[in-house]
Amino acid sequence: MTDRIKAQILNKQDMGRIITRLSHEILEKNRGIENLVLIGLRTRGAYLAERIQRKIKEIEDAEVPTGFLDVTLYRDDFRTRLKQPAVEVTNIPFDVDGENIVLIDDVLYTGRTIRAALDALMDFGRPARIDLAILVDRGHRELPIKADFIGKNIPTSIGEEVRVKMSEIDDEDAVNLVEVIDN
């Protein structure tokens, strides 16, 4: 399988500006940080959550509780996949009861990952509200799910993929539109 990069959608500076804007929007809607918690979806949503947490600290001079969620065990394709994806550690070291959760992920596509995340969060308690913040919305939803905070809308076709790279685990900060070519 070979992939071809069709276009770079966001560079490092673009990503930085989007994270700043998303942080302000989250603070605006929640009118500050009271009862606000961030939960990032492993893998790259967790790094995004950490970056938003740092940005909010710069703005408000306060630390928002931040947790990380791996939704692998809640996915709906366990019976159809042959290879099991690695399960990463979930770490939500605070009570979510009555909190306003902002769920954070890199790409919103079919909505199935978010469905799994909502189910998982309900096992941790009863939050007052859950919002969804997303770096890139590429469309093609298969479930009735929408994002509350959107970094960038990118119309895509099914044969394309949106690859988010973050310097925490990749060699750079960038979002690329990739064409997947099956041989």
Task: Note the residues at the interface with other proteins (CB under 8 A).
Answer: 70, 73-74, 78-84, 86-91, 119-120, 122-125
**Smallest distance from other proteins to CB 74, Å:** 6
**Smallest distance from other proteins to CB 90, Å:** 5
Position 67, amino acid? G
Q: Which of 103, 125, 98 is nearest to 39 (CA)?
A: 103
Question: Please, which residue, 4 or 83, has the CB nearer to other proteins?
Answer: 83
Contacts 24+ apart (CB under 8 A), 19-25: 19/48, 19/51, 19/52, 19/55, 19/151, 20/55, 21/151, 22/52, 22/133, 22/149, 22/151, 23/52, 23/55, 23/56, 23/59, 24/59, 25/149
**Smallest distance from other proteins to CB 84, Å:** 5
Helix axes 12-30 and 44-60, enclosed angle (nearest 10): 60
Question: Please, which residue, 20 or 90, has the CB nearer to other proteins?
Answer: 90
Question: Please, which residue, 31 or 83, has the CB nearer to other proteins?
Answer: 83
Tokens of 64: 């928002």
Q: How far is CA 6 from the centre of its chain?
A: 23
**Smallest distance from other proteins to CB 94, Å:** 12
Question: Please, which residue, 119 or 160, has the CB nearer to other proteins?
Answer: 119
**Smallest distance from other proteins to CB 145, Å:** 18
Question: Please, which residue, 70 or 173, has the CB nearer to other proteins?
Answer: 70
